[in-house]
């Protein structure tokens, strides 16, 4: 038996790039344990797809039929007081939305405080990381994180440049490939940290081998973060990628604002990695007295939309 978050159930209902992976998880063990509200959350996700034109009326009917069949056989964690109290605790220690905290709390209640005994299936990067820190075994955590970063970038790109890219497939080197009607956009995602201690805090239980090769020091956190970005770009530039590939360097700044990091990167003349079509530093940055914080994209090398047609490679 596995605990299934609603984000992982939706690809069982409609065709998505993750559908093959989650279908494989289901086929290996079809006994599903879900939170009481998961069926409603799945309907909400399907309705959004239908409104945005990603799902036809006939597709919606088929997806709802599949959902009903799954719901008829899965086991449900009921909304008891223990789940409510657990969610309140989780909200104080993890950056989660209330509905997501209830999902994780439901899994903790079902595991009877033995999270290692209950595999956890989700495609939500924040939930996956929080579940891992709480002791659950979350499969493909790195891939989930990469997709969240890639999806956020493509939403921003589509908005500012008028493109229509959507995720086409998940793979290795590059991590993700997005496609429009006329072209493909490969994306590679990497991380940069202030130092190895912070890397261990984020990934210590899931990527120990990765941490040793990402040791950046320094007393100045702003410059240390900029040096980490330069190191990540340099490391990725040693490998061969599609000439249309975009490199996204994900950061988790504590106090460094987007403007401060950009100024340091410019002053240090960080290499633009000529092997990539574009390079961006991305992350959730703190606000200032004159500007709200939030998810931002700092171009090291901006993307010119003139990519190879689909099927040309």
**pLDDT in tens for each of the 313 residues of the chain?**
999 999 999 999 998 877 888 898 899 999 999 999 999 999 999 999 898 788 899 999 999 999 999 999 999 999 999 999 999 999 999 989 999 999 999 999 999 989 999 999 998 888 988 999 999 988 776 788 888 899 999 999 999 999 999 999 888 889 999 999 899 999 999 988 765 554 444 444 444 444 444 444 445 778 888 888 888 888 888 888 988 999 999 988 767 888 888 888 888 766 656 789 999 999 888 877 777 778 899 998 888 765 454 544 4
Predicted pLDDT of residue 313: 43
Nearest to 65 by CA among 103, 14, 31, 112: 14
Domain ranges of the chain: 2-139, 143-301
Alpha carbon distances (Å) from 107 to 38, 69, 136:
12, 22, 9
Predicted pLDDT of residue 235: 87
| CB 275 within 8 Å of CB 240 | yes
Alpha carbons within 13 angstroms on the beta-carbon side of residue 280 total 23
| Token reading at 47 | 């309705």
**Residue 193 CB partners (closer than 8 Å, separation 6+):** 199, 202, 214, 216, 228, 251, 252
Predicted pLDDT of residue 47: 95
Alpha carbon distances (Å) from 65 to 14, 27, 72, 174:
11, 19, 11, 35
Residue 99 to residue 82: CA distance in whole angstroms: 15
Report the CATH superfamily, name and number, of domain 2-139.
5'-nuclease (3.40.50.1010)
Alpha carbon distances (Å) from 67 to 9, 72, 74, 136:
8, 8, 10, 25
């Amino acid at each position: 038996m596995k605990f299934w978050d609603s984000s992982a159930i939706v690809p069982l209902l409609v065709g998505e790039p993750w559908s093959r992976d989650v279908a494989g998880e289901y086929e290996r063990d079809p006994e599903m344990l879900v939170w009481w509200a998961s069926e409603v959350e799945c309907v909400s996700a399907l309705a959004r797809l239908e409104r945005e034109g990603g799902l036809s009326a006939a597709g919606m009917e088929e997806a709802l039929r599949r959902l009903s069949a799954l719901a008829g056989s899965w086991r449900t964690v009921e909304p008891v007081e223990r789940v409510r109290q657990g969610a309140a605790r989780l909200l104080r220690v993890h950056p989660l939305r209330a509905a997501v905290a209830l999902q994780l709390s439901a899994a903790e209640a079902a595991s009877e405080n033995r999270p290692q005994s209950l595999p956890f299936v989700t495609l939500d990067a924040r939930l996956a990381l929080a579940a891992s820190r709480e002791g659950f075994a979350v499969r493909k955590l790195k891939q989930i994180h990469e997709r969240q970063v890639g999806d956020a970038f493509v939403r921003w790109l589509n908005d500012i440049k008028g493109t229509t890219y959507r995720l086409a497939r998940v793979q290795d080197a590059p991590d993700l490939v997005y496609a429009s009607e006329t072209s493909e956009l490969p994306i590679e995602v990497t991380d940069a940290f202030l130092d190895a201690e912070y890397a261990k805090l984020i990934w210590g239980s899931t990527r120990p081998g990765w941490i040793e090769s990402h040791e950046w020091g320094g007393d100045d956190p702003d410059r240390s973060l900029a040096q980490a970005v330069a190191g990540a770009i340099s490391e990725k530039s040693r490998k061969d990628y599609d000439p249309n590939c975009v490199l996204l360097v994900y950061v988790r700044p504590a106090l460094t604002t987007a403007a401060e990091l950009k100024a340091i990167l410019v002053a240090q003349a960080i290499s633009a990695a000529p092997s990539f079509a574009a390079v961006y530093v991305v992350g959730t940055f703190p606000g200032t007295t004159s500007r709200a914080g939030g998810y931002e994209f700092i171009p090291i090398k901006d993307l010119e939309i003139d990519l190879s047609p689909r099927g040309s490679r």
